[in-house]
Structure 1
Amino acid sequence: MNTLPDDALPTSSRHSVRRLARGERADGMDDLAEEVPVALEYNGISHAVMMATPADLEDFALGFSLSEGILDDAGECYGIDIEQACGGVTVKLDVSARAFAQLKERRRSLSGRTGCGLCGVDSLDQVYRTLPALAPDRVLTAAGISAALAALGGAQPLSRLTGAAHAAAWCGPDGGLQAVFEDVGRHNALDKLIGMMARRRIDTATGFALITSRASVEMVQKAAMARMSALVAISAPTAAAVRLAESCGLTLVAFARGGNFVCYANPTVALFG
């Protein structure tokens, strides 16, 4: 893989500001999270442009490809090249003939882009893709959720610096953080996590995913496509996300804060034992 140097694109920058606090005005500096357009190309054909934090872009591209159903397996990606271009980044993926043919067929069904937030979707019947049937979760516990939440704040440097980044973490059964990815986009952070796990062949039955956002349909679909058996969100779920989680067997926990949480789909004995 051909990648950019780690410092080629900063993830944050400083900007002068004027504050008003307790009636007093003060000039100073503030740290802002960077976001850049990231174009994803498959075998030379542009498919999507996403605004993302310019870090861990190989994992992002691979995770996006898997969670959106463009690739069935990480092995269908033969290489990734990353180039700066036009004020952003182009990520070029070399993928299998099968995956590319499927992508071209999908593109032929599109009449144009909209701003709906569902990449590559042009009609209502394309919104809900067929998800795998997930095995019942066996590792998620209340103690594990609590431990992961307690540790997560210290593992989010960009969020601490700017207050503008979401995180997605992979947690062991005891709540130990095994990997944490940050991005200005909640979907992007989860895609980065999915890409890393696929690249390293991490068994999704050995832990759970924790996200610092709401649990929307897209987040549930991405977790299910990655065959994660449990998704824990700090914020609320949507009704559609809960129905989707119920249908595919995903254990969905939301409003996870401190030692409290609400399980909305597929509760397990271990979780409340």
Structure 2
Amino acid sequence: MSILDPEQQTLSDNNRKLPPEAPIAITLNGEGFAVFMATPEDLEDFAAGFAISESIVSNFSDVLAITLHEYGHEGKSVNLQIDDELFFVALKRRRLMTGTSGCGLCGLDSIRAALRTLTPLSPHPAPTTQSIGATFEAMQSKQTLNGIYGGGLHAAAICCEDNILEVREDIGRHNAMDKALGAGLRSGKPFDMVITTSRCSSDLVQKAVSARVGTLAVMATPSDLAVKLAQENCLNLYSCNRGYSFTRYS
């Protein structure tokens, strides 16, 4: 096996296009609410999905307007205009620090905010592991940004009856899921499953339940709290185990 000369390796790495990452602020009615490190694409979808998955609003119709602002190299912000009553409730869960690209709950100011009360889903028919596997395989060809940058991005997709409706990508797994959820909500298309290339911690389960999605399928083993929350809230939770086997946890 040949080993590349260090100088050649450096040249190769410098010529490679790398996934972009930038600070993205989400504001509510012009007031700062949260800042994330994220891939600066599909940000209107990101903000819409975040608003639903974090229970800032209960329906997309509660979002009166979405406005994108760009600040050059300093990053971007997305403002959500919502009803004043919802706005004041949301400020009680304001994120007090910047969330990294791998963070789902960074900045919440209390344990109660991190484990918010969820409204259980109605029982939803569980898809077969064969259909989930086929959906994961189909999603790979739709990961446009991952193809451009040669990896480094998570993907999430919303599906209806085994058909992929929207795929979104981000350097952060929570961001990718919010983008996919937001894309579906903005399109008005009904969807019943979200799949993601990431592992599953409790916050992804909370996002799925808050968005009223019946099934969540992930690529790696979930945490014990994720499984507990899925069982308590009637969410079908599957782990794909990187395509080699499937486990249904709830």
- TM-score for the superposition, normalised by structure 1: 0.81
Tell me the number of residue pairs that the alignment of Structure 1 and Structure 2 aligns: 239
Contact kept, 8 Å, 1:168 with 1:212, in 2: the verdict is: yes
Q: Which residue of 1 aligns with 2:56?
A: 70
Contact kept, 8 Å, 1:146 with 1:259, in 2: the verdict is: no
Corresponding position: 1:93 with 2:80: yes
Give CA deviations for 1:192-233 in whole Å, capped at 9, x if unaligned.
Answer: 1111222223324xx311100101111111011001111001
| Structure number with higher helix proportion | 2
**What RMSD in Å do the two structures reach over aligned CA positions?**
2.0
Gaps of 5+ in 2: none
Q: Which residue of 2 aligns with 1:3?
A: none
Which SS does the other structure have where 1:252 is aligned? strand
User: Which stretch of structure 1 is more off in the superposition, 62-71 or 95-104?
Assistant: 95-104
Corresponding position: 1:172 with 2:152: no
Q: Which residue of 1 aligns with 2:47?
A: 61
Contact kept, 8 Å, 2:34 with 2:97, in 1: the verdict is: no
Identity of aligned residues (%): 38
TM-superposed deviation, 1:257: 4.2
Q: Which residue of 2 aligns with 1:14?
A: none
TM-superposed deviation, 1:143: 2.5
Corresponding position: 1:181 with 2:161: no
TM-superposed deviation, 1:113: 3.6
Partner Cα separation in structure 2 for residue 179 and residue 130 of structure 1: 28
Q: Which residue of 2 aligns with 1:22?
A: 2
The code of the aligned residue for 1:22 comes to S
The code of the aligned residue for 2:131 comes to G
Gaps of 5+ in 1: 1-20, 266-273
Which SS does the other structure have where 2:36 is aligned? strand
Partner Cα separation in structure 2 for residue 202 and residue 120 of structure 1: 32
Larger radius of gyration: 1
Contact kept, 8 Å, 1:132 with 1:227, in 2: the verdict is: no
Which SS does the other structure have where 2:240 is aligned? strand
What are the residue-to-residue correspondences of 1:99-178 with 2, within 5 Å? 99-107=86-94, 112-113=96-97, 117-119=104-106, 121-138=108-125, 140-160=127-147, 161-173=149-161, 175-178=162-165
The code of the aligned residue for 1:187 comes to H
Give CA deviations for 1:50-73 in whole Å, capped at 9, x if unaligned.
Answer: 111111111100111111111121
The code of the aligned residue for 1:74 comes to F
The code of the aligned residue for 1:243 comes to K
The code of the aligned residue for 2:158 comes to W
Partner Cα separation in structure 2 for residue 113 and residue 49 of structure 1: 7
Give CA deviations for 1:91-130 in whole Å, capped at 9, x if unaligned.
Answer: 11211112112123444xx8x5486741552121221111
TM-superposed deviation, 1:90: 1.3
The code of the aligned residue for 1:57 comes to L
Partner Cα separation in structure 2 for residue 139 and residue 248 of structure 1: 14
Which SS does the other structure have where 1:133 is aligned? coil
